[in-house]
């Protein structure tokens, strides 16, 4: 069955749950809850990548995530670190993280790919066209699925050149990053272009703005989580290896129904 990554935002300013898990004890408790609900991986982030977000000093990012990773990894839980910074990636792997989730695909920090190669960790390479502060200025595509796949192919090649084996590479089409609402839906409809690259595919739609546009501006968190579960099931049907979500329980149930449907 498609794997579930549970999101733990150890930040005060995440677009969805900023501040709820900003202290280590709260973040660890939330991670343990997500694990109990069925998360296969816990993805720990200390810097918001929401549209318009400003960068966080690396030392502050590490202060937020390293203690959380240490405690969750000590429980035997597979942990990923969501970071744009090579030094944070290295610190996180030392703390027990098994995966580095870089939404920039190694473009934000030129040292990232070499750093991850040396750690032996897996890496998730996101599709990215620039920082959150002005990402929508780059949202120009002809056929979005084909172009995203081509740009991810370049990142996979760069990772391989740095010494990261194909078996350690995951690709993420970057739903919500440098894409309009319409382009996000088009990308999901054309997910087969990304799956055809041959790498494991991670899809993250959770609570993102394009879902709210479909539901209406009055959509509360519960409705956004339901919409996330639906898109996660559709991504799984299209070949996604894993989905990244805030509400693990809803997505777990939706994927279980898909499994029963498919027999």
For this structure, is 179 an active site residue?
Answer: no
Tell me which of 71, 155, 207, 244 is the catalytic residue.
244
Q: Which two tokens stand for residue 227?
A: 């919409």
Judge whether 244 counts as a catalytic residue: yes
Contacts of 66 (CB under 8 A, 6+ apart): 91, 92, 95
Task: Considering only CA atoms, give the Rg of the chain.
Answer: 17
**Active-site entry in 64, 168, 208, 252:** 208
Q: Write down the residue that tokens 């739903």 correspond to.
A: 175
Exposure string (b/e) for 113-133, b if CB count within 10 Å is 16 or more? bebbbebebbbbbbbbbebbe
Query: What is the distance between the alpha carbons of residues 148 and 194, in angstroms, rounded to a whole number?
Result: 7
Rounded to whole angstroms, the Cα distance separating 174 from 4 reads: 17
| Residues labelled catalytic | 208, 244
């Amino acid at each position: 069955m498609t794997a579930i990554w549970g999101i733990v935002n150890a930040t005060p300013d995440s677009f969805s749950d900023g501040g709820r898990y900003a202290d280590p004890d709260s973040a660890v408790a939330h991670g343990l809850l997500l694990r109990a609900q069925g998360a296969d991986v816990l993805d720990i982030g200390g810097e918001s990548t929401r549209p318009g977000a400003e960068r966080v000093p690396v030392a502050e990012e590490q202060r937020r995530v390293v203690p959380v990773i240490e405690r969750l990894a000590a429980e035997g839980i597979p942990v990923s670190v969501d970071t744009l910074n090579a030094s944070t990636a290295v610190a996180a792997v030392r703390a027990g993280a098994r995966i580095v989730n870089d939404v920039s695909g190694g473009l934000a920090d030129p040292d990232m790919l070499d750093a991850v190669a040396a750690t032996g960790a897996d890496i998730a390479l996101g599709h990215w066209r620039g920082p959150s502060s002005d990402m929508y200025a780059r949202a120009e595509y002809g056929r979005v699925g084909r172009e995203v796949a081509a740009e991810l192919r370049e990142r996979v090649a760069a990772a391989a050149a740095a010494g990261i084996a194909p078996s350690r590479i995951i690709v993420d089409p970057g739903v919500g990053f440098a894409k309009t609402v319409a382009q996000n839906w088009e990308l999901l409809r054309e997910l087969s272009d990304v799956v055809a690259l041959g790498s494991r595919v991670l899809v993250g739609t959770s609570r993102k703005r394009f879902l709210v546009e479909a539901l209406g501006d009055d959509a509360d968190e519960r409705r956004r989580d339901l919409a996330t579960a639906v898109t996660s099931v559709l991504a799984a049907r299209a070949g996604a290896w894993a989905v990244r979500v805030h509400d693990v329980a809803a997505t777990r149930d939706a994927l279980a129904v898909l499994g029963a449907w498919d027999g």
